[in-house]
Chain A
Amino acid sequence: GQQLNQSPQSMFIQEGEDVSMNCTSSSIFNTWLWYKQEPGEGPVLLIALYKAGELTSNGRLTAQFGITRKDSFLNISASIPSDVGIYFCAGPMNYGGSQGNLIFGKGTKLSVKP
């Protein structure tokens, strides 16, 4: 079945550093979504990508939809303490009756040292 493999699992970085994380799959996705989850809260959508090769920014965040449609990456520039959280990639399921629901990667936990 569909699976999303996220790496790295966790990152410990210094404030001001840039961050890069990625998500890969053996299946093709037509949409890639990146969510952030802060402690005690639900995931919040950061960026949505709808076309292969698309590069989209949201403030200090930049995400790209891989040209093969099997991968995506998320970059955070000049990290700050409030970037702490778990970042998930997600894509719509495309099998059986679950179409329209999301499948999630296992997340990248980001810690930022001031």
Chain B
Amino acid sequence: NAGVTQTPKFQVLKTGQSMTLQCAQDMNHEYMSWYRQDPGMGLRLIHYSVGAGITDQGEVPNGYNVSRSTTEDFPLRLLSAAPSQTSVYFCASSYDGQYGYTFGSGTRLTVV
């Protein structure tokens, strides 16, 4: 039982490049979310999903796309990377969306 797995752990992008951050969970959780963490800002919700085929925007969605074709996977796509997207990204999942989200160990992204 691996929990929430995020890849890669570290990534450096050039401005304008695109990439996909991967997230997979093996707990059969319906709810999955992406957060970004910046110094002094806590964690802010980017996008979330309440089940396969259903996604919605969070607090800071601009510049990011998501899709949820399976229960297990919830990739986050950066369409055209900008320095303002330099951050640590966390994927999380939950059984019922209210309590006890389980977090992955994060992807540290630097955009130069």
Contacts and interface: CB of A to CB of B under 8 A. Distances in A.
Given A42-B105, A98-B45, A101-B45, A48 B100 contact: yes
Of the four ranges (under 10, 10 to 19, 20 to 34, 35 or more), the interface on chain B belongs to 20 to 34
A105 B97 CA distance: 18
Interface stretch (B14-22, B36-44, B72-80): B36-44
A101 B106 contact: no
B94 interface: yes
B97 A31 contact: no
A102 B105 contact: no
Nearest to B30: A100
Interface of A: 31, 33, 40-45, 48, 50, 88, 92-93, 97-107
20 contacts: A40-B106, A42-B90, A42-B103, A42-B104, A42-B105, A43-B90, A88-B43, A98-B48, A98-B58, A99-B97, A100-B50, A100-B96, A100-B97, A100-B98, A101-B45, A103-B45, A104-B35, A104-B42, A106-B40, A106-B41
Given A48-B99, A100-B94, A106-B42, 12 more contacts: A33-B100, A42-B104, A43-B103, A45-B100, A45-B101, A88-B43, A93-B45, A100-B31, A101-B31, A102-B43, A102-B92, A105-B42
